[in-house]
Structure formats: structure tokens, C-alpha cells
Structure 1
Amino acid sequence: IKMEESLQDLIVSIPPPYVTAKCWGVLDGDDGSLLFGRNEHVPREMASITKVMTSYLVYRIMKRFKINPKKEMVTVSKYASGINGTSARLREGDILCVYDLLHGVMLPSGNDAATALAEHFAEIIKEDREKQAVNSRNPRLAKQNSKGEWEFNKMIYGNSGIDTKKTPKSRNLVKLFVEEMNKTATLLEMHNTSYSNPHGMC
């Protein structure tokens, strides 16, 4: 108890560090309490820190569907290869395993790699939701047309604004992935955090 009290006294007596950032905070690593800070609750653009959530969500999906990152292959789309900003130098048609793409996300901070992963894993989410809709036998969610093809109600894709008829496939998939990013942030109690893309570039 005396040690804890002396530590608290020490923290109180230490002046906050000089930081030039407009918003910053120093947290206690044990309980998450704020020790020092300035404008710590003011929303700021996250930039490439976004890619931490992208990688984390990829990990969660792999765990859920028992996907091996060294065996799951991803084909880079034209959309992903054309994303501006920091790059892993991916080209349309490149085929890489998830393990390598994660390195492309976290080491060179590749916006293209983050987008490629978002598209690929959103496709897995999309297919799973469509499978659940078919198995539900609810015609409001899924029904077959005259050609025997399944048609799905947009509600199964959540609030991502996905429109399979008007919006290009790649953009739809990224929207779906970003919605999952925001759901995951809520689960992690990141209440003041929201994402608009998988790479963080405005």
C-alpha cells in the first residue's frame, strides 16, 4: 500500500511532458486511466493507425472461419492497386497470401495492401451472410428468380450502403469491411472512434 501511495504521489508531483502535438495523452498501462493529456477527447484523423484495426479485423475473421494466412490467397484488384498514398507496390493481378499482405499493410503501410485485404475478407463476410439468408428460408431476405439465381435483400449487408446493382463490386466490398471495422470498434468500447476506409487516407 505504501508503495502504491508513493507511486501516486510521484506521478502527481511530476510535471506533464512537453509535447508539441495538439492532442495527446499518457495512460496508465495497468488500468488505462489518463495520467497526462491535452485535448485527449478531441476527434482527430487517425491516418495509418487505421491499419491496426484493419489487420485486427482480418485476424478476427481468419480465426472465426479457421483460415490459414499462409495458404489463403488474395488476387489484387485494379481498384486496390490504384489506391493513392503509401504503397506496397502491388499491381493488378498480383496473387499473394494473406500473411504477405499483412506485412504489406504494417511495414510499408501499404494502402493498396489494406484495400486488397478489405475486399477479400469482405467477400467472405458477404458470402457468409448470403448463406445465412438462404438457410433462413425467409423470402424477405433471399429468394430465387425465374433463372434459379438467388437475389438478396440489401438489409443482410447491414448499414454499409451496399448496392450490388449500381456500385462497383470493389467499392461495395470495402464499404462492407469498413462497417465491420466500426462494429468491432464498438465491441472494443472505442466509443469515440469511427472509420471511413481500411487505410486511413482521407
Structure 2
Amino acid sequence: MNKKSLLGLLFFTCIIMIGLYIGADYMVRHSSSETTKDKSYALEEGSTKEDNINDSTDDVTVDDQAQQLIEDENDAYKEILAKAADNILAQESQQLDNSVNDMALNPAIDSVTQESWLTNEGEEALSADSTKGDVLSATADNVSEPQLIYNAKDVDYMSYIPELIIDSELEQTLDISNPDISIDAKAAILFDADTKEVLYHKNPVEAVFPASTIKLLTSLVALDWCDEEEQVTIGDEITMIASDSTRAYLKEGEILTIRDLMAAMLLPSGNDAAYAVATYVGRKSLDNMEATKEEAVIEFVRLMNKKAAALGVKNSCFKTPDGYDAIGQYTTAYDMGLIGIAAAQNDTITEISCQSSSRNIFVSGEDVTWTNTNKLIKQYSGQFYSHAVGLKTGTSTIAGRCIVAAAECDGKKVVCAVMDSTSTGRWEDAIALLKYGLEKE
């Protein structure tokens, strides 16, 4: 309970106490007055002077007794009211102590609206807001509502990241003759997509943030649960996104196929499409098409973490279907590389993500064209790489500029994950890594 609420309750209690005190005083005085009137009436009905004197004396005695009765009653009421006040204050104090303890355990705790916990990422514009809230770690079977970070300066998000796991298997995988490739990214990795051999790495098991590259995982989960031509009616789940989100500009009531929604996620990086997919698949998994959008999204995120674990991911925790910065959400270049390999081996994802633009005619009749945010596959972008075959960009305040990219030449396919790079660096980093991978004997 906050200070304003506590002060208000104490003020209300004082008013009640005063009211009870006045009422008690009035009742006792009224009773005393009636007693005095009765006695005076007896004197007037025929008494001697002596009797008057005696009765006067008795009248004084009655007044004293009445006053004493008033004082006794007042003291009793005061004692009762004091005890009641003490009890109320003790309860309020305990609630206040509990609130303080909660804040000590969760320094970022505060009230969050339902709308605020599901806002999303701006692809090319870095998000500038922050969230607060207590955090429950997400695993494949333990997922809570995400607490999104709108202003990284307000949240010590790194304190929510556990110690990462580097087991003997991972050590052996990373034990390579690492080539000298200069890149801007904070963390990066290059894989042979067919053998999963690591060809290059830089801080591969350091905590980074996925941003919209996570939509590759969202797409993989969607294809696990749905046919490409399965139809989805857009609902109010698209209102969960923030005003600064990149979007496919979907509208409630429109009917799209799963493939349409994947194009909406992978090309313009539509956060609205990510939540439409998450809500539909989450309800399907719950076997409850009446589940709320919040329940469905939580279920979908559980499926995401479960899918990631099945791909060999060990040092990631995903909280949102679109990758928006959230407390407790993190990944590594190595883990995103594994997700990238799975995406690069999926024909539907590569067919969609290798397009510079896509025209889609919805089941409900709308005709839209989306442009890809990935400059590697756009011929006149200035960062075009002819062997690139997708996959997905990502940008956020904490994540920086990211890309999970794939390239193919002469039957050889490589995948790189470039995490937390610069605006131009992410393209140059990706091209340098992909070229090295394709040219390596």
C-alpha cells in the first residue's frame, strides 16, 4: 500500500473515532440530564425546605455521579478506540513492511498495465522506453508474463541473467583454429549449416539479446503446429504492440494464411504478425480457442523455449514472440546460430526470407506488398551479397544491430549470427563471415 493510501485510511479512522466519541458523550449526557429532570420533578411535587436541602445535596450527588459516569464512559470508549486504532496501524504497518520487503527482493517492481507488458520492437528505430516488474525465469515449462524493457537506463537487466553454461561438449565444439576476421559485432559465430561445424567465433557464449532475429524461432514453432495454408483471423492481439513497433499493418478481421503471417514477420518484421501467430498457435496448443490472448502468448513462449532446447540451445531464455527487450530474456551468438541453422534448413523460411519483397493476397481479399529489411538480399541496397539466402534482421536498444544470415554456393550452405553490431557493421560483418565460410576448403 502506498503512502497516500495509508494516510487516507488513517484520516478516515480518526473521523470515525471522533464520531464515536461525540456520540458516546451525547448519550451519557442525555442520560444524566433525564436523571436530573426526574429528581427536580419530585422536589416540585411537595417537599419541605429540609427535604429541599437534602434533595439539593442529593442533586449534587447525582450530578457528580453523572459526570463520573460520563468520564468513565469516555475513558472506556477512548480505550476501545485506541485499541482499534492500534490494530489498524499494526495491520497497515505490516502491509507496508511486506511491500518494502517485496521491493527489496525485486528492485524493479512496480505496477504494470496489461498493455505495457506486451509492447514490441522497432526494427530500424531503437526503442526508447522501459518496463519494470518482478521476474520469473522462463524455461521450457515455466513461463510468466514478460516484463519488457522500454528504457534500458532504468533496469539492471544484466542482473537477471544467470551464469551461462559451457560444458565439455561446447568447449570441444568451440576448440577450433579461429581465423583472424575483424568485425564490429560484440559477439558472432559462423557455422557450416550441414555439419554444424563452427568455422569462426567471437564471444560465442556471452549473453546478448535477440531482438527480431527471434522471429526465426517463432516461425519454426508455427510450422511445427500449423500447415502453411491454415487460415488465421486477426483479432485484438495486434493491439498488444507498442506505438514504435515495426509492423505489417494488419487489421482486425482480416484473414491470412500461416504463410502470409510468416512473410509479414520475416520481411517487414511485423510485430503484429508475430503476436497473431503466437495467439493462434498458443490457443491451439492449449486446445482452447477461447483462451485470452495473454494466456495464448504465454503458452506460445513456452513452446518457443521448448523448441529451442530441442535444437540444442542451452544458454537462452525467450520471453516474447517478437524478441522485444524483456527482463530475463537473453541468448548467445552460438544459440542464435543453432536456430539459424534450423531456419536455413527449412524450405518455407528460406523461400520467404530470400525475397526482397513479397506480394500477398489475403484470404479476406486484401492485396499487400511487403519489403524485406535484410539488405543482403536487396540488389540495389549497397550491402547486397549475391549468395545470401535470408534470413532475419533484428534491432533494439539493448540488442543493437543484429542479423542471422545464410548463404549458399555450389551446394555448400553457411549460417552466421552477428549480434550487437553497428548500423553498417552488421552487413559488413555478415558478408565477411559468409564469404569466408563459402570459400573455406
Q: So what's the TM-score if we normalise by structure 2?
A: 0.31
Match of 1:22 in 2: 186
2:229 paired with 1:76: no
Tell me what 1:121 maps to: 281
Distance of 1:15 and 1:95 partners within structure 2: 49
Instruction: Confirm whether residue 196 of structure 1 aligns to residue 301 of structure 2.
Output: no
Q: Secondary structure at the match of 1:115?
A: helix
Distance (Å, rounded) in 2 between the aligned partners of 1:107 and 1:56: 15
Counting matched residue pairs gives 148
Q: Does 1:34 align with 2:198?
A: yes
RMSD: 2.4
SS at match of 2:209: coil
Unmatched runs of 5 consecutive residues or more in structure 2: 1-175, 326-441
User: Among residues 226, 245, 258, which one is paired with 1:98 in the alignment?
Assistant: 258
Which of 195, 204, 207 in structure 2 is aligned with 1:43?
A: 207
* Whole-Å separation in 1 of the counterparts to 2:307 and 2:322: 16
Q: Which has more radius of gyration?
A: 2
Question: What is the CA–CA distance in structure 1 between the aligned matches of 2:316 and 2:264, rounded to whole Å?
Answer: 24
Residues 25 and 40, structure 1, Cα contact 8 Å, conserved in 2:
yes
Shift of 1:76: 1.6
Q: Is the 8 A contact 1:81 1:90 kept in 2?
A: no
Report the CA distance between 1:15 and its aligned residue.
Answer: 4.4
SS at match of 1:104: helix
CA distance in 2: counterparts of 1:79 and 1:29, whole angstroms: 35
**TM-superposed deviation, 1:91:** 1.8
Offset of residue 79 of structure 1: 2.7
Candidates 53, 64, 67, aligned match of 2:217: 53
* Among 309, 312, 324, the residue aligned to 1:186: 309
Task: Please give the secondary structure, in 2, of the residue aligned with 1:36.
Answer: strand
After TM superposition, give the deviation of residue 29 of structure 1 in Å: 4.1
Indicate if the aligned counterparts of 2:232 and 2:256 stay in contact, CA closer than 8 A: yes
Q: What is the rounded CA distance, in whole Å, between the counterparts of 1:77 and 1:29 in structure 2?
A: 37
Three-state SS of the structure 1 residue aligned to 2:200 is: strand
CA–CA distance in structure 2, aligned partners of residues 125 and 55 of structure 1: 15
CA offsets 1:15-38 (integer angstroms, 9 cap, x no match): 411101111122344532333322
Instruction: Provide closer, same or farther for how the CA distance between residues 88 and 182 of structure 1 changes in structure 2, counting only shifts above 3 A.
Output: same
CA 1:103 to 1:15, structure 2 compared with 1: closer, same or farther past 3 Å?
A: closer
Q: Aligned partner of 2:235: which letter?
A: S
Query: Structure 1: which 5+ residue stretches go unaligned?
Result: 1-10, 131-163
Q: Deviations over 1:45-83 (max 9, x none)?
A: 111111001111111112xxxx4x32x221222232441
Decide whether the 8 Å contact of 2:237 with 2:279 is kept in 1.
no
Identical residues among aligned pairs (%): 32
What's the offset of the Cα at 1:39?
1.1
- TM (normalized to structure 1)? 0.66
Residue 106 of structure 1: how far off its partner (Å): 1.0
Q: 1:98 to 1:40 in 2, by over 3 A?
A: same
Change in 2 beyond 3 A, CA 1:15/1:97:
closer
